[in-house]
Structure 1
Amino acid sequence: MFDFDDSRLEDPEVLAAAAPLLMNLASSGARVRREAAMAEAPLAAIDDVDRPRAVIAYGPEARLLRAVLEPVCPVPFVAWPALGLPGWVGPLDIVLLIGRRGPESMAVAHEAVRRGCRLIVACPPDSPLAERSASRSTTLLPVNTGDPLAAAVVFLVALHRLGLGPYTNPEAIAAAMDGVAERCAARTDVSVNPAKTMALDLADASPLVWGGSVLAARASRRIVEALRLASGRIGLAADASDLRSLLHQAPPRDPFADPFEEGTQERRPGLVLIDDGQDDAAAAEARLRLERTAQAADIRITRLEHFEDSVVERYATVLLTGLFGAAYLQIGLGRTAS
């Protein structure tokens, strides 16, 4: 059983011990810059002479690519979750492969080459996957950091050059992530640090996370995964109607309960609302209902918001803030020692 101690969020020794956890998040922007710089030459060689029949993406963040491309892509875009490729895929299609270790990526690369597809693969240039992917129709985007989001940004640049997606500026995305790292730095006081505030809000809560737009919903799933890992508690990202049902079932707050006495009170939920300014009318109404339900049940609400810049910059900002919040929750619970 781990008890949250808010003093850990300002303790220099505790924060120094947790430095690797925080530095991994703080270097997110640097990884985007590095991957974009490494892929600059092959990206410059990409052209959009022949429009494909369809685009099939496989690997980590394939659904992120789909979420960004679906509103504007002039051809069907498929985020393929299964081993291999759909039976209809052939030489008229483009396959995007965000490489990772394991037989699945190798199988997709083999099938794409065998069928004569135009293949764009992001992986280390000296890896077995790069060797397996080699063909006259293959473009290799050399990446080395192992960060799927950074690789996805490189793919978005490639898709724009192919005439299939919106303009993507890796430097702007990296700068947005650097801004989050600055605001959420360990040295930043809890009173102005949104990630430490989020950790305090969820100190004794089971997290429920919701985002209204497609990208905000994706960020909610990533954030709740991090919160579950950080806290060892049950957490959920789901439709607004499902979360409202859970909020209705939350036990009433007992003002006389001793928070330091084990078993005195059932754990209540904490609601995290993600807003990237992209809600449609239905999502705006769902957000309002969630807020009203939480307020009626005396549930604390944490808001992660970013309304400026491109959709990917907004996504990266709210996502990274939430991941920092999960890290500070882990630190406050004393779970970083292991």
Structure 2
Amino acid sequence: MRPRLLITRPLPAAVHDRAGVLFDLTIRDSTGPTRPAELADALTEYDAILPSLGDVFSRDVFSAAGAPRCRILANFGAGVNHIDLAAAADAEIAVTNTPGAVTAPTADLAMMLLLMSARRAGEGERLVRSGQWRGWHPVELLGDEVGARTLGIVGMGRIGQEVARRATAGFGMEVLFHNRSPKRPPGPEATQVPLDEVLGRSDFIVVTLPGGVGTRHLIDAEALSLMRPHAHLINVSRGEVVDEAALIEALREKRIAGAALDVYEFEPEVPAALRERDDVVLLPHLGSATRSAREAMGMTALDNLKAFFGGGEPANRVA
């Protein structure tokens, strides 16, 4: 018998087609996060689950499942901070992710957000759509140039390295970075310095850290106070890395020039204090949202599942 697999939210059709060949497949038809009670039930009914961001596998969920039938969670996405890895290990459930597929599109998006914030593109588009634009004039919506400026990257993993490549090769930016461990990234020259130096010397700061307890509110009021008044903060990592209340206060007091966010601390809730500001660019978590990336993420998750049930070691096992 083929293992029973639950895909918690619809994925690209090619992923469904392949999953249907490999597994006894059930696809939940809702695009919203799966409720905890549903997740607990799924742990008892399926041999494998392919979840995604928002499907919170807490210790309580694992406990409610008792002795689960499920043997593996093949997460759709690189970040796994919505899964209690220690509780999964206690339940003897493996966890995998899909890191490689998200790298390039997320780095592209980081640069897009940087440019949008620097050149006030969101504000300009809203002006045109409002019907209130009265034509070109010399001092309208003056923004900042990007070329030859200093970029600070917080977290020099795969995505951070790709952001650095784009910034140096495309815009001639100097790159400083902070990483929790020493790192010599390939490709463009980049200088590793302490976090406070990244914050204090950079014109643009891109956050590309994983989420979790170790990085929650790393960018807090103190960190924001170190930024230059003309600097922009870009977050494409996880929302909880940035203390949203502290960011709102820094923007109100004009201690930084702007922010561009693809993720939010209490996602999908976005405070009105951010939504109403012209110096903030807001996107609905589009980091990996390209057709090819989302299909590749699904195929990677299926590769992990195929290896696991074939008796091998999944390439992207995290727990």
Report the TM-score, using the length of structure 1 for normalisation.
Answer: 0.36
Task: Decide which structure has greater helix share.
Answer: 1
Report the TM-score, using the length of structure 2 for normalisation.
Answer: 0.37
Larger RCO (CA within 8 A; separation ≥ 6): 1
